[in-house]
Amino acid sequence: MPRKTMLINATDSEEIRVATLVDGVLSDFDIEFVHNEKIKGNIYKAKVVRVDQSLQAAFIHYGGQKNGFLPIGELPKDLVSPDGRRGRIQDLLNRDQEIMVQAVREELGSKGAMMTAQISLPGRYLVLTPGNPTNGISRKIESREEREHFKKLIDELEIPRSFGVIVRTASLGVTKEDFQRDLDYLLDTYKEVQNRYKHRQGAGLVWQEDDVVTRTLRDAFTKDIEEVHIDDLETYHAAQGFFKRTMPQHLGVLKHYIGKKPLFSKFSTEEQIDRVYGRKVPLPSGGALAIDQTEALVAIDVNSGKTTGDNVEDMAFKTNMEAAEEAARQLRLRDLAGLVVIDFIDMKREGNNRAVMERLVECLEEDKARMEVGKINRFGVLVMTRQRLRPSLQHVTHEACPTCQGTGKVKSIEALVLSVVRRIKAILSRDAIAEIRVKLMPAIALAVLNQKRKDLSALEDMHDSKIIIVADPEIPFGEMAAEIERAEEEPAEKVAARNERPRDLDEETVVLGGDSPISFDKALGGDDAPRKPARAPRNEPRREPEAAPAPVAAATHAEIKYDRRDAQRAALEERERLRALFEAAKPLDDEDGSPSAGSAAGE
């Protein structure tokens, strides 16, 4: 028979962890942070905020960050009409009406908590249902003899007229005295709930569900658990008190762990917990499960991996059988709920598909959550649903990556570089900018400078602006911070005066296509194009320039004014293009194709 052990780690003041091992293998795991307490099971005094006729539900304020959701199906049984129908919610609830509710589902993402007005208080063996006098027995108790036995025990209990009870799975083998003791405790608890609700001013908490230790001992402890090790003395005493009140016959299983080695390390549990957070789960034969949790569903893909065999069908069957066992375990460990899709390896034999499905259902019987399992279809896919008992392990212990926003992928460097240049263009096009300082993550800044230096220079010339790229390690990946210095607007008369003044040393005007031909180098302001004509010696008379030959148009551009500081850079980039234009503009006057005299003089 498998050996079951429960470990309770409560030495850290910020969190409490509870693990259940079967023959040393992690079977169940729960964690609760002190600063992030769960609300499921809590009872609140709430006020109706809005009644939605289309949804037939009410939104209620109970003191949480978001309004709770109360559908008509969760209203108290005493609101049912004599013919068994509830009618319309707008006839049953009014705005600002106060009502006692209980949380049945945690807040998740943008969704508020799911609420019910059908209060229930769970005990060790019974669940008390105030306002609902119907008694019931857990569906997991399938034996007809056991069910008949419990019906007789319920009839013998002293249950108030307006209350009902549900027999829990843990009740197997207990006596009438155990039932009555549990019932009396639950009735006393509900009286306290009613008293707090009556004296509560405004919406807020009335009764809080037990902490993770008591809740686990109440809901998960079974008779086949041989030992419960607790490493915190205060928690150990609290567990003793719970056992004395509900199941004193099992008090001996509690052990206070005082070893030097951490409790979870002692039982080799830490490594197993770390693997629970991973996306891939290895299988014994060499295959693996790939588990992806999305907002719509949970996808589990079965991969054969390094599994080898002579018969492909047998190999697929063996891997799928292992995957069925491990998938059931992972659903329970991670508390994955909602729609679950398992993509098994394709098998041709219908009997193999049926055997894999039956193995999955058998392994899921240990799970306390309600489930509905479909069949493996012709694509090798099985679809099932699982009830959410608590927030998934990933939701409790992880946050969405601020860089990829939880997608697992980020833009490539090349895409980010193009995006940065586009954003700079957009900024420069909106207004007159004297200088823009762009801060980027070092890797992206380096890529921009290496790949887009020429484009940035062209933007500087086009907008008469200065662009500075700064590598800043504090800038998150994929983001950009821009500091802008706007250009000051000059009065119109000042601009006109500046345009009429003689050229200064910082700018130079080159006229292409004037009264005399110019060479290509002169057009670019080269060495053979001095800015001022050379002065004649003092003792020599100034010679008049020779008559210029017929003009030859080197280009048809308008007057170009450019900054001296940028001339050299512009010349390097434009030299080859303008040379080709200049050569193409030379006329061919001679029939043999020789250049005309004017062109020769221009050279």
Band of pLDDT at residue 304, cut at 50, 70 and 90: confident
* pLDDT value for 196: 95
**pLDDT-derived band of residue 34, with 50, 70 and 90 as boundaries?**
confident
Both structure tokens of 411: 């833009």
Kindly state whether residues 454 and 519 are assigned to the same domain.
no
Q: Is the pLDDT of residue 455 over 80?
A: yes
Q: Is residue 66 in some structural domain?
A: no
Q: What is the pLDDT of residue 496?
A: 54
Q: Average pLDDT for residues 189-215, to the nearest whole number?
A: 91
Least confident of 403-412, 442-451, 553-562: 553-562
Together in a domain, 133 and 219:
no
Residue 178 sits in a domain of what CATH number?
3.30.230.10
d(CA 266, CA 8): 12
Tens digit of each residue's pLDDT (9 = 90 or more) over 463-514: 889 999 999 998 888 888 988 888 776 555 554 554 454 444 333 333 333 3
Contacts 24+ apart (CB under 8 A), 52-55: 52/89, 53/88, 53/89, 53/90
The residue out of 148, 178, 203 marking a domain boundary is 203
465 & 371 share domain: no
Instruction: Answer yes or no: do 468 and 512 share one domain.
Output: no
Q: Return the pLDDT at 572.
A: 56
Locate 482 and state its tokens.
């821009």
- The answer as to whether 91 is a domain residue is no
pLDDT of residue 419: 92
Mean pLDDT taken over the chain: 81
Q: Is residue 45 part of a domain?
A: no
Q: Give residue 111's pLDDT.
A: 81
DSSP-assigned letters across all residues of 136-187? EE-TT---HHHHHHHHHHHHHS---TTEEEEE-GGGTT--HHHHHHHHHHHH
Contact yes or no for 164/118 (Cβ under 8 A)? no
Residue 224 in 3-state DSSP? coil
Residue 59: pLDDT band (50, 70, 90) is very high
| pLDDT at residue 574 in the model | 58
Residues 298 and 353 in one domain: yes
CATH number of the domain encompassing residue 449: 3.40.1260.20
* Domain with 420 in it: 413-486
Write down which residue in 366, 397, 428 finishes a domain: 397
Q: Is 383 found in the same domain as 343?
A: yes
* pLDDT band at 561; cut points 50, 70, 90: very low
Residue 57: inside a domain:
no
**pLDDT band at residue 85 using 50, 70 and 90 as cut-offs:** low
pLDDT at 531: 44
- Per-residue pLDDT at 516 exceeds 90: no
The CATH number of residue 232's host domain is 3.30.420.60
Q: Give the pLDDT confidence score for residue 508 in this predicted structure.
A: 33
Query: Are 144 and 181 contained in the same domain?
Result: yes
User: Into how many domains does the chain fold?
Assistant: 5
Dihedral pair phi/psi, residue 72, rounded to 5°: -65, -30
The reply to whether 284 and 375 lie within a common domain is yes
Quote the pLDDT of residue 42. Answer: 94
In the chain, pLDDT over 90 holds for what percent of residues?
44
Q: Residue 112 domain-assigned?
A: no
Q: pTM, whole model, 2 decimals?
A: 0.65
Separation in Å, CA 588 to CA 553, 584, 594, 595: 13, 10, 6, 5
**pLDDT confidence bin for 77, thresholds 50/70/90:** confident
The residue from 203, 223, 243 where one domain ends is: 203
When pLDDT is averaged across residues 584-602 and rounded to a whole number, the result is: 44
The answer on 312 and 418 residing in a single domain is no
Helices (H), 431-550: 442-451, 453-463, 492-500, 520-523
Q: Are residues 578 and 519 in the same domain?
A: yes
527 and 595 housed in the same domain: yes
- Domain assignment present for residue 77? The answer is no
Mean pLDDT, residues 584-594 taken together: 47
Q: Looking at the structure, do residues 388 and 287 belong to the same domain, yes or no?
A: yes
Q: Is residue 90 situated within a structural domain?
A: no
> What's the pLDDT score for residue 344?
96
Digit-coded pLDDT (tens) for 353-377 = 999 999 999 999 888 888 999 999 9
Terminal Cα distance for the chain, rounded: 105
Residue 433 domain flag: yes
Rounded Cα distance between 287 and 330, Å, is: 15
| SS3 track for 542-574 | CCCCCCCCCCCCCCCCCCEEEEHHHHHHHHHHH
